[in-house]
Chain A
Amino acid sequence: MQKLVEIVAGVTNGSFTASAVVEEHLGRIKARESEIHAFNLVTADQARETAAKIDDDVKAGKKVGALAGVPIALKDNMCTRGVETTCSSKILQGWKPPYDATVVTKLRQAGAVVVGKTNLDEFAMGSSTENSAFGPTKNPLDISRVPGGSSGGSAAAVSAGFAAASLGSDTGGSIRQPAALCGVVGVKPTYGTVSRYGLVAFASSLDQIGPFTSDVRDAATLLEVISGHDPMDSTSIPQSAPSLVSVLEHGVKGMRIGRVTDLPEGCEPDVLARLEAAFDALRKAGATIVDVKLPSLQYCLTAYYLIAPAEASSNLARYDGVRYGNRVEATDLNAMYAATREAGFGEEVKRRIMLGTYALSAGYYDAYYGKALKVRRLISDDFARAYKDVDTILTPTSPSTAFKFGSKTDNPLAMYLCDVFTIPTNLAGHPAMSVPFGVGADSMPVGIQVLATTMGEQAMFKVAAELERAS
């Protein structure tokens, strides 16, 4: 399968056409999508039209964009004008946004070809894509296993070769964990790097869009295109994002890599073994491994499961059947609200709305939400201390490799533990990415997570590129 950068080069210099690239990917979708279910919607006709236009531009000698002809899949929580955007929820089924998300506009301007909208855990709440109202996505490497989540469809689409790249959103690990489980690269950039305008909110202070690709260079290339200040997003960082592709060959000589000595327990030994192998590889490449302590790490999961549901309870209150989405008619207003939300939301979404509503309620706020915010400050302080001594930190992305369908669905807490290594990054607003680094005992891929401080993407990508070379 072709890399993103190879497609751009080939389409731009005319060695092959965007249309041919798109047909090749649509062919793979046709062959395997029925068993994988990566997509909620495949936009084949629009993709062919876009590709044809790019080919015309190339033929006419016009300048084409940095992603010319690249087939890209979008998580179905990013607004696409006139194209159904569902968040894998019945409550939004059939809703066609009247506008494009900022990332979608940037992709279109860069000449990317959107091939479809990918499946996710409903409203991005979950770690296996089993919470989709439209059925789960299968892991293309072993269809008896989950692809991870919530961006399971986007991870599977890249892993199966349905798209050269995809975009996901990461609130507590929803890009990195599925990337690890599907054996692809996934990046959660610094909060504010990529505009959230048009990303359907789950937990606004944690949500961030990022790329899935089959290698580190593709990820850097795609992230450069979608990054940058957006006046439509008040939390967007008001400065230009750093160059990433340019640092990929810099190596890690002299870099200081953090090893967390108080990592939460519960990680599979084969995954931990790959982490050790990663440290060895970096040491061999000239980096120094430095022990760091993150004492607040143990509280992060709890804090996250108060903060994220609290924001979600507010963000999802707008799905009330009044203005858009689906409505269940009833005798009066309150009954209509209740019937609409009862029918429209799945179990996990309801669980988190109730959790968050409770955490924000009068009399409970200080004990729950207020305390969670304190943990958020503590983990940020821990990271700040650690990053005085190190440039990046390495952890596993996920405590285990891809698990079997149904193995955690009866126990929400077991599912929540999938995010134990990824959540602290979101609480701190930092960047982190998952890079495939060998396989576990079950021959399924293991992802290593590279963490860095705010705007520390260059250091993060240097380390990720080195790990990729060593794997």
Chain B
Amino acid sequence: MSDDAVLPNGWQLVVGLEVHVELATKTKMFSASANRFGDEPNTNIDPVTLGLPGALPVLNKHAVELAMRIGLALNCKVQPCTFHRKNYFYPDLPKAYQITQYDHPLNIDGFLMLPGEVRIGIERAHLEEDTGKSTHFGGSSGRIHGSDYSLIDFNRAGVPLVEIVSRPDIRTSEQARQYVAELRAILLAVGASDAKMEEGSMRCDVNVSVHKPGTPFGTRCEIKNVNSIRAVGRAIDYEARRQVDLIEGGGTVRQETRHWDDASGRTETLRTKEDADDYRYFLEPDLVPLVPEQSWIDQVRAALPVLPAARRNALAELCGIDKDGESAFVVVERGQDDYVRQVVGNGGDPRRSVIYVQQAFAEQGATPKVPAKDLAALTILERDAKVTSTQAKTLLADLIEAGGGDVAAIAAKRGFEALDTGALEAMVDTAIAAEPGAWQKYCDGEEKALGALVGAIMKSSKGKADGKAVTAILQSKRQK
């Protein structure tokens, strides 16, 4: 299905994403309390975190460095910047203002490439602090309105965040999913965040509008509570259809913030533009401008690792696979591309090496226990048809369980001696002689009959015959 076919009558989707990521610092943005998820509520707190009278913020240099890494990885310009106060009342916002960046953010004007050379502009990636976490009890909605009481955990308050704002360059829900996945891969690669959407350390707000190409963009709605990459796609598809249906039904789209309900698969109004807070932004007088020295920027840039896209390209080239395919993405995301390179370096079959790692090493991390040379030996056994692909899978499981080993010896112990071509041909001839009816049907073009022949050969070989090889011999005999 072509992506543009999602919307009827020539409507074009326009999407921009605002992604918040919690930075992987030891301490908070402006205080020495620990930045750690999952601790006992209200234990990682201090006068600054709680906004006690008289407490003052002191900027965490490591947070700035991680934010710079993100900016540089997204091809942004890193510039002198300032902090502002965003004022609003809410119980989990201890100072009643959030310290954020406004007209002079740290990182501006970058981009991120998606498969197919699609370039998504990055408007800005700025630093700010997280709020506490409210939990509302009683009532049906899980929101503060109508609840009996609410509890607040301030452990999250003051955790450093970077908000990455894309330009409205995304045109399909698939691109949006790719964008989030690629962004996440970059964040993990540069070590800026653990980027766990399910724990809230990476959160997406999605701006959706529709228009006809050649006309100005439509009115956009911001969708909140989109907590997985899958939800990003679903929420966009739903919202785009809602807007198109609304317009085609003679209505107009109101600018508003909408809430994504993952269970019902719908968005609903959270607040309209008229209800929006006036945040009364002004320069944060408790902080001074942040002016990163060029030498610092250069140092951070030089220390950046090779980014996922480049690593996928290298892996694809090495192994002869699709650079935008699942294998390359998964293996690089797990950081196992170096390992694949070692396997190939030990003489392993490139394609089999990357596929084995993708399929069997999900739990192994960046440095699998199986020595690269052992995995290489296995790919060669299979490539040279010394074992069947089924047998190879068993041997791979053996290697993983034992943390490596002499594959040839394990194969011999299991009795995995692949039959040579001569022996196989003899067995095929025997089977044809034993099942003349099936052979005739197969020769007449009845493909189903192949199963009976192969089955007979597998049985007589006690499973040592390679099904693929047997099929190939049968096919070539039929053509004669």
* Residues of A that sit less than 8 Å from B by CB: 78-79, 85, 87, 92, 95, 97-99, 101, 196-201, 203-205, 231-235, 310-311, 313-314, 317-318, 320, 322-324, 333, 337, 357, 360-362, 365, 369
Across the interface, which residues of B come within 8 angstroms of A78, CB to CB? 54
Q: Establish whether residues A201 and B282, one from each chain, have CB atoms under 8 Å apart when the complex forms.
A: no
Query: Which residue from A200, A234, A310, A311 sits with its C-beta under 8 Å from B53?
Result: A200
List A contacts of B87 (CB < 8 A).
Answer: 313-314, 317, 360
Instruction: Check B54 against A197 for contact (C-beta < 8 Å).
Output: yes
For residue B92, which residue of chain A has the nearest CB?
A: A322
With CB as the reference atom, state the residue of chain B lying closest to A230. Answer: B56
With known contacts A310-B282, A314-B282, A197–B287 Cβ distance under 8 A: no
Taking CB as reference atom, which chain A residue is nearest B47? A99
> Is the CB of B291 closer than 8 A to any CB of chain A?
no
| B92 smallest CB distance to A (angstroms) | 9
Tell me if B54 and A201 are in contact (CB < 8 A).
Answer: yes
Residues in chain B near residue A99, CB distance under 8 A:
47, 52, 55
Residue in B closest to A200 when the chains form the complex, CB atoms? B53
In the assembled complex, 9 residue pairs joining A and B whose CB atoms fall closer than 8 Å, in A order, are: A79-B54, A198-B54, A199-B54, A231-B58, A313-B280, A314-B97, A318-B53, A323-B51, A369-B282
- By a CB distance below 8 angstroms, the chain A residues around B96 are 314, 317-318, 320
Given contacts A197-B55, A323-B51, A365-B280, 15 further A-B contacts (CB under 8 A): A79-B54, A234-B59, A234-B286, A313-B280, A314-B85, A314-B96, A314-B282, A317-B87, A318-B51, A318-B96, A320-B89, A322-B91, A324-B50, A333-B144, A365-B282
Tell me which residues from 28 to 65 in chain B have a Cβ below 8 Å from any Cβ of chain A.
Answer: 47, 50-59
B282 near A97 (CB under 8 angstroms)?
no
B286 & A85 in contact (Cβ 8 Å cutoff)? no
Q: How far is the CA of A99 from the CA of B87 in the complex (A)?
A: 26
A234 and B280 form a contact (CB under 8 A): no
B288 on interface, CB distance cutoff 8 Å: yes
Complex-state Cα separation, A79 to B48, whole angstroms: 13
The dominant DSSP class at the B interface is loop
Which residues does chain B contribute within 8 Å of A95, judged by CB atoms?
53
Interface residues of B in 159-186 (CB under 8 A from A): none
Chain A residues in 8 Å Cβ range of B288: 234-235
Which positions in B face A, CB cutoff 8 Å?
47, 50-59, 85, 87, 89, 91, 94-97, 144, 152, 278, 280-282, 285-288
Complex CA gap A323/B53 in Å reads: 11
Smallest CB-CB A-B distances: 4 pairs: A317-B96, A205-B285, A360-B280, A204-B285
Q: Which chain B positions have C-beta within 8 A of A324? A: 50, 52
Point out the residues of chain A lying under 8 angstroms from B58, CB to CB.
231-234
A233 CA / B56 CA spacing, docked (Å): 6
A313 CA / B96 CA spacing, docked (Å): 10
For the complex formed, measure the closest distance between the CB of B151 and the CB atoms of chain A, giving whole angstroms: 12
**Pairwise interchain contact B286-A235, C-beta atoms closer than 8 A:** yes
- Give CA–CA (A99, B91) in the complex, Å: 23
**CB-CB < 8 A to A314: which residues of B?**
85, 87, 96-97, 280, 282
Closest to B53 in A: A200
* Least CB distance, B257 to chain A, in whole angstroms: 17
Q: Which residues of A contact B52 (CB under 8 A)?
A: 79, 97-99, 324
B residues in contact with A313, CB < 8 Å: 87, 280
Contacts of A198 in B (CB 8 A): 54-55
Find out whether the CB atom of B97 lies under 8 angstroms from the CB atom of A234. Answer: no
Which residues from B are CB-within-8-Å of A197? 54-56
In the complex, the answer to whether A97 meets B286 with C-beta atoms within 8 Å is no
Contact status A323-B282, CB under 8 Å:
no
Tell me, rounded to whole Å, the shortest Cβ–Cβ distance linking B100 to chain A: 13
Q: A170 → chain B, closest Cβ, in Å?
A: 16
| B440 shortest CB reach to chain A, Å | 83
Give the Cβ gap from B157 to chain A, nearest Cβ, in Å. 11
Query: Closest CB-CB distance, A428 to chain B, in whole Å?
Result: 15
- Report the minimal beta-carbon distance from B130 to chain A, rounded to whole angstroms: 17
CA distance A149 to B62 in the complex (A): 42
A360→B56 contact, CB < 8 A: no
B31's closest neighbor in chain A, by CB? A232
Q: How far is the CA of A323 from the CA of B280 in the complex (A)?
A: 23
Alpha-carbon separation in the docked complex, A441 to B95 (Å): 48
| C-alpha spacing A314/B281, complex, angstroms | 10
Question: How far does the Cβ of B425 sit from chain A's closest Cβ, in whole Å?
Answer: 82
Bound state CA distance, A102 and B80, in angstroms? 30
Q: Which residues on A sit within 8 Å (CB–CB) of B285?
A: 203-205, 235, 311
Bound complex: CA A181 to CA B292 (Å): 47
- The answer to whether A361 touches B280 (Cβ under 8 A) is yes
Closest residue of chain B to A123, judged by CB?
B53
| Inter-chain contact A317/B53, CB cutoff 8 Å | no
Q: Is the CB of A97 within 8 A of B95?
A: no
- Shortest CB-to-CB span from A418 to chain B, Å, is 24
In whole angstroms, how far apart are the Cα atoms of A203 and B59 in the complex? 20
Query: CA separation between A365 and B144, bound complex, in Å?
Result: 31
Give the residue name and chain of the A residue nearest to B87 (CB).
A314
B51 to chain A, nearest CB (A): 5
Report B-chain residues with C-beta under 8 Å of the C-beta of A361.
278, 280
